[in-house]
Amino acid sequence: MTAADPLLREVAARALPLLDLTDLSEGCTEEPVRLLCERAQRYAVAAVCVWPRFVAEAAQALTGGGVRIATVVNFPDGGEDVAGTLAETRTAIEDGADEIDLVLPYRALLRGEADTARAMVAAVREACGETRLKVILETGMLPDADTVARASRLALEAGADFLKTSTGKTPVSATPEAAEAMLLAIREGGGRIGLKVSGGLRRVEDAARYLALADRIMGPDWVNAETFRIGASSLLDDLVRAAEAGA
């Protein structure tokens, strides 16, 4: 398929408002964050996702624009320092974060210490108050779909508003198999919790694959910015090309 394909244009138009436009690069500075916010407003994406140290700057740049500000905590390692993660969360919210993306302590889960992982999510849930909480399962580090489903149920029970596949910092990020296991857990829980697919999505065809998966499992009317996000740093350009092709 070419960028001018009407099906790709349709996917691109649908996916753009679902993007969490992201810069979590190690060398990120204030200037890239400013440019990220400008692009987010220009294309009316759902949110920007930046390091905690840039939340205040993003909040100033995006005042009144309708684009949410997301940031990451316990990132990327998914450690077990609850006190440190809570401090990070509270500071981010004070600085203007609308959404907190928390890395689940997945190694604790793999050791059979589910209560440790649950306690982290529950504590951050309480600290978030009305702020949206996305829980990153780091599915590329989980051995199989059953473990992904177990991690999903744990996060849902502990108060997650969204499940998120990946940090984008491991060799394997989002996969359709992991997203399917997460969507099934969300459906079993009543379908009120969202899914964020993150890491490795670069082409319109990637977005199409996950949108089709969500439509199949959750129904064609489920996907919107309140229930489905795509975390991406390099996907935007391809979506814009496809959306504008033939216009």
Write a three-state SS string for 170-184: CCCCCCHHHHHHHHH
The Cβ of residue 130 has, within 10 Å, a number of other Cβ atoms equal to 6
Per-residue model confidence (pLDDT) at position 246: 56
pLDDT class of 115 with cuts at 50, 70, 90: very high
Is 169 among the residues known to form the active site? no
CB 174 within 8 A of CB 143: no
pLDDT class of 2 with cuts at 50, 70, 90: low
Q: Which domains does the chain have, with CATH numbers?
A: 6-241 (3.20.20.70)
Q: Which has the closest alpha carbon to 168: 60, 39, 20? A: 20
pLDDT in tens, 144-189: 999 999 999 999 999 999 999 999 999 999 999 999 999 999 999 9
- Whole-angstrom Cα distance, residue 171 to residue 246? 36
pLDDT class of 247 with cuts at 50, 70, 90: low
Q: Select which of 20, 134, 196, 206 is catalytic.
A: 196
Q: Select which of 101, 161, 206, 238 is catalytic.
A: 101
User: Does the structure show a pLDDT above 70 at 3?
Assistant: no
Per-residue model confidence (pLDDT) at position 5: 84
Q: Which has the closest alpha carbon to 185: 158, 220, 225, 212? A: 158
- Whole-angstrom Cα distance, residue 104 to residue 240? 33
Per-residue model confidence (pLDDT) at position 245: 84
CB 76 within 8 A of CB 103: yes
Q: Which residues of 142-154 are buried (b: 16+ CB within 10 A; e: fewer)?
A: beebebbbbbbbb
Is 164 among the residues known to form the active site? yes
